[in-house]
A and B are shown apart, each in its own frame.
Chain A
């Protein structure tokens, strides 16, 4: 699980006042800087930059893992991923989701108008949002189908997982942090207890939870039975399997959000609470008008970190259900993995990776915008 794939604005770290350059030493400085930077730049170029470029190249090829076919096929891989037969467009398709996209776009545009952002960026945001909403109306008409239905299934499941687990992980993390804040005795112990699952390997977590959720021998079934509820086969019921995965994920990783929120709470100036109390603000008002604004930046950070981590869900699903039952929990990374290493089509796998990467870069960019204007 990638933990912190957020993008802090580069200016913040290098913002220290610069000492005037002594031109006589400049050449030597470059050599020395290169000496210190070379090891990192080497691994960075090799294992981060190059794979992205290579994925871009591979995505235009029919690139077989074993058969040594390496044939340039233009946009075939993209057509296969994103297109289908007898495609049509209508207004009502995915209407709810598109309404959400439009609302978010409107909010962003209003916000940048209010903050007097550069007109270009405002127009760009609006145009991108409208385009996205319009594109979501494209779908296979009657008698047609997607070229790769499995891809869209995996996208849908990933989106569902993200949409359900992210609010839970953020809300629960915040609630835990609020319960633990302050300098009470035992706080460190409780924090450790809630954070502990986060350090476990994903396969140890799935090991426990596969058994916990097991209808015959699991603690969950045992507990429910005492309440008179029949055991539920969480992981083998297509309707419930994703919920089993979500429960596992929440238990495993909410501790990270707890820690981030706790750090954020510590940064709120205590005198603000005092001032609010003196003004006669009750607990709710203090929460609403001191805690919530004070946590704004952390919340954006946690939300984006969480969003990006959730998009990349793989281990829990792959170990616990293999994407099953049927295709009920198949997710995008699994689709990439199987396209590449089961169907041996590396070109196609690279194309999906790249689109996926661009999507996440977009989320990071939005976060960058939000945090850069924040506070």
Chain B
């Protein structure tokens, strides 16, 4: 009865050349002919992405057309003006900027803080290490969404509502990140560190010039994971940023939907939704592998 030990995929090991392990070969089984399989999956993927395609279509259709009739999957009277509106009207650009600032700060700080803590837990021997680690792991049980009341009070009592630091600081306390980094560092062979110490390098130097470069893949996964979660945060920004100028993309877009005028400017609304999601979609397309690895690492599964 071994406990399930989270393992790290080959891509996470320090050795840079390792490739992702191959899945079980299923070709030997007689299944659908490949053409049928592809046809089916393509159809399913198309249906799955229909809502997004429809959103694009609406964003490209002029607002006045949409007031007369519903738009189908193909835009009706192609226009770019809805996208131009995003840059000229309303606070969308400001929210976008807020999200960029908050998300970037949260990501950089989270990765730095979690990498340091992960290194200490995995590689340094000190009294109380196990106890402290258990305390951090217990933090995984604290639902982020549930403790916003005392957290709000803490920031409002110190007059920090509607500030950037109030938006990103609580995000940095991310026990899952420490878990991911500890898991990674504990798989780095001790020889690396010992060799460097023999050469006279102190722990700081070992961390900076040996551990951090090795940890790049794990840090990339953690970074992209944090970025997505922070950009999409809804409840906390809703609570702590009450001035329109301090909304993030997520709360800003939500505020537009409760606005009654939304019904007359569907095109611009959809364009705003697309622009607000764009960084994540681009990031996802570029770093899909890292994001998915971050998720599987974070689940303790892989």
Min CB–CB distance B69 → chain A (angstroms) = 8
CA distance A41 to B126 in the complex (A): 15
Check if B203 is an interface residue, CB within 8 A of chain A: yes
Check if A107 is an interface residue, CB within 8 A of chain B: no
Check if A212 is an interface residue, CB within 8 A of chain B: yes
- Whether the Cβ atoms of A259 and B143 lie closer than 8 Å is no
Other-chain residue from B25, B50, B229, B296 in contact with A182 (beta carbon distance below 8 A): B25
Check if B100 is an interface residue, CB within 8 A of chain A: no
* Stretch in contact with the other chain, from B76-84, B85-93, B275-283: B275-283
- Whether the Cβ atoms of A212 and B299 lie closer than 8 Å is no
- Whether the Cβ atoms of A222 and B23 lie closer than 8 Å is no
Indicate whether A55 sits within 8 Å of B150 (C-beta atoms), given known contacts A37-B117, A39-B113, A208-B273: yes
- Whether the Cβ atoms of A13 and B26 lie closer than 8 Å is no
CA distance A301 to B140 in the complex (A): 14
Indicate whether A364 sits within 8 Å of B140 (C-beta atoms), given known contacts A196-B49, A200-B280, A202-B234: yes
CA distance A357 to B139 in the complex (A): 11
- Whether the Cβ atoms of B52 and A33 lie closer than 8 Å is no
Check if B244 is an interface residue, CB within 8 A of chain A: no
Indicate whether A204 sits within 8 Å of B154 (C-beta atoms), given known contacts A43-B169, A183-B25: no
Check if B196 is an interface residue, CB within 8 A of chain A: no
Check if A340 is an interface residue, CB within 8 A of chain B: yes
Hey, which chain B residues are within 8 Å of A277, CB to CB? 28-29
Other-chain residue from A7, A199, A222, A337 in contact with B235 (beta carbon distance below 8 A): A337
Min CB–CB distance A14 → chain B (angstroms) = 6
Check if B54 is an interface residue, CB within 8 A of chain A: yes
Interface centre among A2, A32, A48, A203 (most CB of B within 10 A): A203
- Whether the Cβ atoms of B145 and A333 lie closer than 8 Å is yes
Hey, which chain B residues are within 8 Å of A194, CB to CB? 45, 48
CA distance A36 to B269 in the complex (A): 46
Min CB–CB distance B300 → chain A (angstroms) = 3
Residues 118 to 163 of chain B near chain A (Cβ within 8 Å):
119-122, 124-127, 129-130, 132-134, 136-154
Other-chain residue from A36, A217, A264, A283 in contact with B120 (beta carbon distance below 8 A): A36
Indicate whether A48 sits within 8 Å of B257 (C-beta atoms), given known contacts A4-B298, A375-B1: no
Other-chain residue from B23, B49, B150, B257 in contact with A50 (beta carbon distance below 8 A): B150
Check if B170 is an interface residue, CB within 8 A of chain A: yes
- Whether the Cβ atoms of A315 and B234 lie closer than 8 Å is yes
- Whether the Cβ atoms of A204 and B173 lie closer than 8 Å is no
Other-chain residue from A43, A196, A202, A218 in contact with B173 (beta carbon distance below 8 A): A43
CA distance A201 to B22 in the complex (A): 32
Q: What 0/1 pattern do residues 199 to 216 of A give for CB contact below 8 A with B?
A: 111111011111110001
Other-chain residue from B28, B145, B280 in contact with A314 (beta carbon distance below 8 A): B145
- Whether the Cβ atoms of B147 and A39 lie closer than 8 Å is no
Interface centre among A18, A19, A259 (most CB of B within 10 A): A259
CA distance A186 to B183 in the complex (A): 31
- Whether the Cβ atoms of A29 and B126 lie closer than 8 Å is yes
Min CB–CB distance A269 → chain B (angstroms) = 8
Check if A275 is an interface residue, CB within 8 A of chain B: no
Query: Range of interface residues on chain B?
Result: 35 or more
Check if A40 is an interface residue, CB within 8 A of chain B: yes
Hey, which chain B residues are within 8 Å of A15, CB to CB? 5
Hey, which chain B residues are within 8 Å of A182, CB to CB? 23-27
Other-chain residue from B5, B26, B119 in contact with A12 (beta carbon distance below 8 A): B5
- Whether the Cβ atoms of A184 and B34 lie closer than 8 Å is yes
Check if B70 is an interface residue, CB within 8 A of chain A: yes
- Whether the Cβ atoms of A7 and B124 lie closer than 8 Å is no
Check if A227 is an interface residue, CB within 8 A of chain B: no
Check if B292 is an interface residue, CB within 8 A of chain A: yes
- Whether the Cβ atoms of B257 and A222 lie closer than 8 Å is no
Q: What 0/1 pattern do residues 170 to 185 of A give for CB contact below 8 A with B?
A: 0000000001111110
Other-chain residue from B48, B126, B145, B146 in contact with A193 (beta carbon distance below 8 A): B48
- Whether the Cβ atoms of B207 and A197 lie closer than 8 Å is no
Check if B114 is an interface residue, CB within 8 A of chain A: yes
Other-chain residue from A8, A260, A341 in contact with B6 (beta carbon distance below 8 A): A8
Check if A10 is an interface residue, CB within 8 A of chain B: yes
Hey, which chain B residues are within 8 Å of A273, CB to CB? 24, 26
CA distance A141 to B175 in the complex (A): 45
Q: What 0/1 pattern do residues 23 to 62 of B give for CB contact below 8 A with A?
A: 1111111000010011001001100111110110010000
Q: Can you list 25 contacts pairing A with B, beta carbon distance less than 8 Å?
A: A3-B295, A8-B6, A9-B4, A10-B130, A13-B182, A14-B130, A14-B182, A19-B190, A29-B125, A32-B203, A36-B203, A37-B121, A43-B169, A47-B170, A47-B172, A51-B150, A181-B23, A182-B25, A188-B288, A196-B52, A201-B280, A203-B249, A208-B54, A340-B152, A349-B149
A interface residue numbers (CB < 8 A to B): 1-16, 18-19, 21, 26, 29-30, 32-33, 36-37, 39-41, 43-44, 46-52, 54-55, 58, 179-184, 186, 188-190, 192-197, 199-204, 206-212, 216-219, 222, 251, 256, 259-260, 263-270, 273-274, 277, 283, 297-298, 301, 305, 308, 311-312, 314-315, 318-319, 322, 333, 336-337, 340-341, 346, 349-350, 353, 356-357, 360-361, 364-365, 371-375
- Pairs A-B, 4 closest by C-beta atoms: A217-B70, A8-B300, A182-B26, A36-B120
B interface residue numbers (CB < 8 A to A): 1-6, 21-29, 34, 37-38, 41, 44-45, 48-52, 54-55, 58, 66, 70-73, 112-114, 116-117, 119-122, 124-127, 129-130, 132-134, 136-154, 169-170, 172-173, 175-176, 178-179, 182-183, 186, 190, 203-204, 207, 228-229, 231-232, 234-235, 238-239, 249-254, 257-258, 266, 269-270, 273-274, 276-277, 280-281, 283-285, 288, 291-292, 295-296, 298-302
